[in-house]
Amino acid sequence: MDRIGDIGLFLRVLDLGSISAAARSMDLSVAVASQRLQRLEQQLGVRLLHRTTRRLHATPEGAALAEQGRPLVEDLETLAADLRRSGVEASGTLRVTTSASFGRQHLSPLLPEFLRRHPQVRLSVELDDRVQDLVGTGFDLAIRIGALADSRLVARRIAANRRVLCAAPPYLERRGEPATPTDLAAHDCLVLIGNQGRQDLWRLVDREGREIAVRVDGRFESNYGEVLRDAALAGLGIALHSVWHVAADLHSGRLRRVLPDCHLGDTGIYAVMPQRRLVPARVRAFVSFLEEKLGPVPPWERHEVSSAGGPDD
């Protein structure tokens, strides 16, 4: 950067015709400006200026540097100005990743409003149930749901993630409703295959506050929550779902709460970022927007929500 700055000083000298005028315009002393020009000539190994009593003139080498260096300096100055502006104004491309189901159901409908509010922002959204390496893949932000693994990433809680057990009424009519958590072991349960393997150990807290862990099993499992939801709707068994995922089905009666007096540990919905300091304005704006739209009471938990996503109780 010192050399680029020195080239910028050299160009200013040519434009203004003297070292003193260039020094004043850049808030430098004449001595410092002269030393920097001498340093540039020494680094390049050529004389750049002919010094006369009236004016400075570029040598052929100086003229070549001015012709080829000016666009580079101007491009760098423009880039630096854009970067400084991006620190205070929401602009540039915002790259976001989140799970497919949550992104499609609850993030996608919000994006047009965000873009209307921030016309200088471009959005690139990837829906993927895999946990992405934000730094390695260049994402600005991830929306992650559930317990977060320890990492150096920065997480900001956007909303609560309440979970329930649910099943289709025909399944419950056919098999009967479990009365206690231990009854789940005798039922067909729909099991998620997650990042940590087969999630078949369900932990519930009963009305007396006792935690009960039940190993469940069934004929159907999947790594994709949407498939398990479809299986539950088809009456294939009992599923453990986040309320945001099945709120409309619970509201309509297509699914019904199972063991409603028992509590599954709530987790969270988080905005996860790769850095804490110097967060771009576009990222700050998006996180604030999500907090406004999804918290403190998420829309799928509000009684006034339409059939697109209502509460179950």
The per-residue pLDDT for range 223-274, each reduced to its tens digit, is: 989 999 999 999 999 999 999 999 999 999 999 999 999 999 888 999 998 8
CA 61 to chain centre: 49
Task: DSSP for 51-69, please give it.
Answer: E-SS-EEE-HHHHHHHHHH
Task: Select the highest-mean-pLDDT range: 29-33, 157-161, 168-172, 293-297.
Answer: 168-172
CA–CA dist 144, 202 (Å, integer) = 21
- Higher per-residue pLDDT: 227 or 48: 227
Please say whether the beta carbons of 254 and 79 come within 8 A.
Answer: no
Reading the block at residue 200, the tokens are 């078949």
Summarised one tens digit per residue, pLDDT across range 274-289 is 865 668 889 999 999 9
CA-nearest of 91, 86, 84, 98 to 134 is 98
CA–CA dist 207, 84 (Å, integer) = 55
CA–CA dist 59, 66 (Å, integer) = 10
- Higher per-residue pLDDT: 26 or 234: 234
- Higher per-residue pLDDT: 20 or 177: 177
**Which range has the worst mean pLDDT, 2-6, 122-126, 206-210?**
2-6
Supply the pLDDT for residue 8.
Answer: 84
**Taking 70 as the threshold, does the pLDDT of residue 42 lie above it?**
yes
Summarised one tens digit per residue, pLDDT across range 52-109 is 656 777 888 888 888 888 888 777 766 665 666 555 678 889 999 999 999 999 999 9
**For the whole model, what pTM was predicted?**
0.67
Supply the pLDDT for residue 113.
Answer: 97
Q: All domains of the chain, ordered by start, with CATH?
A: 2-86 (1.10.10.10), 92-161+268-301 (3.40.190.10), 163-265 (3.40.190.290)
Q: How far is CA 262 from CA 163, 178, 294, in A?
A: 11, 11, 25
Task: DSSP for 246-309, please give it.
Answer: HHHHHHHTSSEEESTTSEEPPEEEEEEES-SSS--HHHHHHHHHHHHHH-SS-GGG-TT--TTS
**Taking 70 as the threshold, does the pLDDT of residue 36 lie above it?**
yes
What is the average pLDDT score of the chain? 85
CA–CA dist 176, 194 (Å, integer) = 28
Summarised one tens digit per residue, pLDDT across range 190-207 is 999 977 789 999 999 988
